[in-house]
Amino acid sequence: AWKQKPTVSDLKKLAQANSFDEMMKNRLFKVILVASLANLGAMAGTFIGIYIIWQRMGLINPSELLKGII
């Protein structure tokens, strides 16, 4: 979004998009996609990191904890 900032027309075109290909041509969709995938990656990294730390420190068996929650 540094070179070409999303515009109001991008928002209108995004609402009218009928296919994923049309959405990928939209600058606003690309910005939203990058932000959402970055958030998902950070969330996955957090949970994986917690799992590894718990196992290495021997605090609790994460699989038993998850079975108790579910």
Chain segment 3-44, per-residue pLDDT in tens: 778 888 888 988 888 998 999 988 889 989 999 999 999 999
* φ and ψ of 21, to 5 deg: -60, -40
- Can you list the positions of beta strands (E) in the chain? none
pLDDT band at 60 (very low <50, low <70, confident <90, very high): low
Single-letter residue type at 2: W
* φ and ψ of 17, to 5 deg: -70, 135
